[in-house]
A and B are shown apart, each in its own frame.
Chain A
Amino acid sequence: MKILVCISHVPDTTSKINFTENSSKFDKNNVQFVINPNDEFGLTRAIWFKEKAGAIVHVINVGLHETEATLRKTLAIGADKAFRINIEPMDGYSVAKCISDFINEKDYDLIIAGRESIDYNGGMVPGMISALNNINFIDKCVGLEIEGKKVRACRECDGGKENISTTLPLIIGSQKGLVEESDLKIPNMRGIMMARQKELIVVEPGQIDIKSKSVNFEKPKEKAEVKLISSDNLDELINLLHKEAKVI
């Protein structure tokens, strides 16, 4: 089985977010970048398929040179080979199109992307790839078992779960639940040494089409001071929620 994991390179969850160039661009200065958490769950599941069933695991990122440290980390965790499509990501569509063109020339059985990236929160790339390449798609995947071409998967939906059967080739939107947090691997010294020997191949993009672009960013306004209510005056809280906030 050949697996491709799409890796988005995102600011760490604790990062303070700032913008530059007249608030039109995300300020990458002083930001620690990590593997998008949803992608890391997917990558870990892929490494299990490698360890238990001999799968080959490739990773791909659409991004400039700066993302290579993140890709090296995926190699240290256990991916076999990394690809970087050398272009600054512009919108979800162009990223999906780049990855879709890349897949077209290969024969991956399983493609894993995160349900959503924690930077732009598009939640669009995996669905778009599935439609561009006409392959089965399961979003918010929290369970995945594969035997031959047969797939049994579990999807989280609002208020519950669905058990789904389908076939390869398949793309999933991965998230926590596919593996647990405690299953995530921290690269060890040996992994890091081995990653240096592994291939990281830079691919030049084909023609790029975009369908949307960022114009500017704004940070939410500082919140007004909290109204503190004494714990012996809960009637006041109920009153405020009813009359002022009108939420109960």
Chain B
Amino acid sequence: MSVLIFAETERGKFKKDALELASYGRSISDEIKSKLVAICINSNNPEELSKYGVDKIICVNNNDLENFNSKNFSDCISNVFLKEKSQFLILSSSSNSRYIGGILSIYTKAAYVSNVFSKPTKYKPLQLRRNSFTNKAYETVEVISDKVIISLCRNSYGIIENKVKSEVVSETFKIANNDILVSSTEKLSDKVSIADADIVVSGGRGLKGPENWHIIENLADVLGAATACSKPVSDSGWRPHSEHVGQTGKPVASNLYIAIGISGAIQHLAGINSSKIKVVINTDPDAPFFKSADYGIVGDAFEVVPELIEKLKKFKSLNN
């Protein structure tokens, strides 16, 4: 019996999500009194996971797994799952992990529950809470299987240190040939992606045109944030599609979401509602977004944002 997490790495380093999965996995392990095991692929520093409560760290180091491949990764993780006789497999909600969740559930014959945002509310039978209807509702799901794959929403549990003595083992994995070949990748920029960002700065039609986006970008730079936009902004070609957030765009689950010149239409809110803190800057005090926000400033973005940037620069220089 064990709880297994897939601890994702990027260029050898654990992603923040991996540490959150370890913390979450630890709490389930404690409750069902089983071991917490992690599988990590090409990690430079696997021991880091012992700080977050992982008892056994299984390392697969293989140059052929340097780039993500859905088939190889699914094979590798499901092998470990079966070998470790795991009952739980916990995945993050990164694009790569979401890609393989469904595949893994068939390979391991486990139930699959995605978008989970809290610890199980019950173990026998297992009940989990998840976001559904694009953040318009919470759903409690009962698992009808003795094995389950959970994909955990980002930032829903947090990172909790819990140092244990862990065993680090390395496993070999033989790559089977497959015909999904990644021929090239295009990185959008060196900035953080919306999926990985703690802070997202987002602009809407209130910014009037693409030539004004430097104020969004400058604010994002000071905060180390990713930039995003509302749907009409990307539809008009002011910004790339990859920045469109909302019900039909990317979901945002950051710690802080700053919405500038965005009215707060239901489809926009649905996609960003699971962000923890929302700040709205809008000229119209009746903009619907104020109803969903934590902090609001009624004001003109072209005046407020540049001033905010200057003040944040000062704040950052004093606090770093």
Residues of A within 8 A of B (CB): 11, 13-14, 17, 19, 26, 37-38, 92-93, 96, 118-128, 130-132, 136-140, 156-167, 176-177, 181-182, 210-220, 223-224, 226-231, 234-235, 237-238, 240-242, 245, 247-248
Contacts and interface: CB of A to CB of B under 8 A. Distances in A.
B178 to A, nearest CB: 8
Contacts of B113: 212
Given A139-B70, A241-B295, A14 B267 contact: yes
B142 A124 contact: no
Given A176-B244, A217-B137, A247-B277, A127 B307 contact: no
B111 interface: yes
A34 to B, nearest CB: 11
A237 B260 CA distance: 15
B102 A227 contact: no
Contacts of B223: 248
Contacts of B256: 241, 245, 247-248
Contacts of B295: 226-229, 237, 240-241, 245
A211 to B, nearest CB: 4
Contacts of A247: 198-199, 255-256, 276-277
Nearest to A10: B133
Pairs of residues from A and B, 9 with the lowest C-beta to C-beta distance, nearest first: A127-B102, A159-B193, A231-B299, A131-B106, A211-B111, A158-B195, A247-B256, A124-B102, A139-B99
B134 A121 contact: yes
A248 B142 contact: no
B102 A245 contact: no
22 contacts: A13-B247, A13-B270, A119-B132, A120-B139, A123-B101, A127-B100, A127-B102, A127-B106, A139-B70, A160-B188, A161-B185, A163-B183, A176-B248, A211-B143, A213-B142, A220-B136, A223-B291, A228-B298, A234-B297, A237-B308, A241-B277, A248-B199
B183 A131 contact: no
B179 A127 contact: no
Contacts of B297: 228-231, 234, 237
B135 interface: yes
Interface stretch (B23-31, B35-43, B90-98, B202-210): B90-98
A118 B223 CA distance: 31
A132 B107 CA distance: 9
Contacts of A211: 105, 110-112, 143-145
Of B113, B138, B139, B242, the most chain A CB neighbours within 10 A belong to B139
Given A165-B183, A220-B138, A229-B297, A130 B102 contact: yes
Contact of B182 (A17, A26, A158, A162): A162
B235 interface: yes
A21 B255 CA distance: 35
A166 B139 CA distance: 37
Nearest to B189: A159
A159 B188 contact: yes
A137 B111 contact: no
Contacts of A165: 181, 183
Contacts of B187: 159-160
A123 B291 CA distance: 29
A21 to B, nearest CB: 14
A160 B186 contact: yes
A5 B151 CA distance: 26
Interface in B147-176: none
